[in-house]
Amino acid sequence: MRRVNSAVALLGAAFGMMLAALSGATAATAKPPNIVYIVADDLGYADVGYHGSDIKTPTIDGLAKGGARLESFYAQPMCTPTRAAIMTGRYPLRYGLQSFVILPEQTYGLPTDEKLLPQVLKDAGYETAIIGKWHLGHAKPEYLPMQRGFDYQYGPLIGEIDYYTHEVHHVVDWYRGDKPLHEKGYSTTLLGEDAVRYIDGRSPDKPFFLYLAFNAPHTPFQAPKEYLDRFKDIKDENRRTYAAMIAAMDDQIANVLNALDKKGLRDNTIVVFQSDNGGVRDSMFAGEIETKGDLPASNAPYRNGKGSLYEGGTRAVALVNWPGHVNPGEVNGLIHVVDMLPTLAGQAGASTAGTKPLDGMDVWKTISEGAPSPRSEIVYNVEMFRGGVREGDMKLIWQTPLPQRVELYDIAKDPKETTNLADAQPETVAKLEARIQELAKESAKSLFMEATMGAYLHRELGTPALPNDPAFFEQKD
């Protein structure tokens, strides 16, 4: 019997090794997934149907129902920093993009010594495309998307555009292949249609990365009548138009998913959807294009919105959907936007060699299985005048201009940030202040602050500010 048992054990071990080998071979020969990464611009946390909104978003809701709803997903407080974090997997404070956004007249951009997500994926054999808003540098050729790893580009380089004329300050901001393009149409519709064309042109034999970055629902509040008519019951004009803009984006996302289905690609495509920050609640951050009336976005139940370090500014709508690979359900583990580069690279079989030291972590098991997050820290941002960091449940916001203000919140117990615990927990404050100081010492100088002060000094001295690239700024109305 002992001989029989030994033989059975040996056969079992051999069979197990054979299965493992077959499994490894299957994994090695499996097609890398396509990646469609969709970003909304200034979408309020509460302004999607699955968060209880009166704004109907059936496509986004369907993705949420069938995928991972990332309910503790953190972006940066504003547009340029979040987009930089997606592209680099590193905190924007590392390379000077921690403050505000790149303005139309400014000439700086995401430093060219940073290796970006499209470059990482391209090295792994992916085709890469950006359709939509870039906002990481527009004034010099080396900052443009097709110099940063994208094979194809279409849409605005800045993004704060009129939805029909595609102009910002009477200059057209609309491009294809990094070349100016004069074209009529509602920008959300044009971006969705181009994404469908892009998918239709893909071969099933080669994986692709499509970064689809809508400028909706950023100001100005503009929408086609057919969408406005859907929300006649909303009395406030801005809220009605804002809702219509979101619905138009939702329809275009539906068209993109249908295109994937028609090509037989949906089951092997990771779809990511997120907002770049919270919705706008402070008119200071509503954009340079004048907007009248009340600001319509809601980040309920969270405090404040875009531009702030409170939860309403940084906890973003986010989900990941990949049929058969991501378990549907709510995911509450901490995830920072910098985590997306290493996480997606891992699923693509791509190497992160050549990137600078990443702040992001591979959180795929958290996303796909609901496993505990490897992340315990969230860096909201660190600038010369403020910093925000969370360790575990405790979050510190430190406003450093005199008189300084220190706020400490237990986010697990007080997600609305109503009770400041700073006086009651001085040791926790000291620990988190030390972490902010550490990050501040590691920070690069703010390129926005340098550019803004430089322009101001030029004007004060009676000399012109540095000119931007004529290819962008010398277009005629």
Residue in 51, 79, 218, 336 annotated catalytic: 79
Determine the residue type at 430.
A
Sign, Cα dihedral of 399, 405, 411, 416: negative
Q: What's the rounded Cα separation, in Å, for the pair 430 and 320?
A: 36
Residue in 135, 166, 218, 336 annotated catalytic: 135
CB 358 within 8 A of CB 344: no
Phi then psi for residue 291, to 5 deg, are -130, 125
CA dihedral 74, 76, 81, 86 (to 10 degrees): 0
Q: What's the rounded Cα separation, in Å, for the pair 475 and 161?
A: 15
Active site residue 135: yes
Residue keyed to tokens 């089951």: 267
Two tokens at 458? Answer: 């030029």
CA distances from 129 to 38, 172, 319, 345, 471 (A): 12, 21, 21, 16, 22
Active site residue 79: yes
Q: What's the rounded Cα separation, in Å, for the pair 163 and 189?
A: 10
Two tokens at 157? Answer: 């380089």
Residues near 245 by beta carbon (within 8 Å), at least 6 away in sequence: 188, 216, 217, 221, 222, 223, 227
CB 77 within 8 A of CB 308: yes
CA atoms within 13 A on the CB side of 173: 25
Q: What's the rounded Cα separation, in Å, for the pair 319 and 238?
A: 27
**Alpha helices per DSSP H over 135-186:** none
CA dihedral 220, 221, 225, 230 (to 10 degrees): 160
Closest CA to 385 of 460, 324, 446, 458: 446
Q: Which residues are catalytic?
A: 79, 135
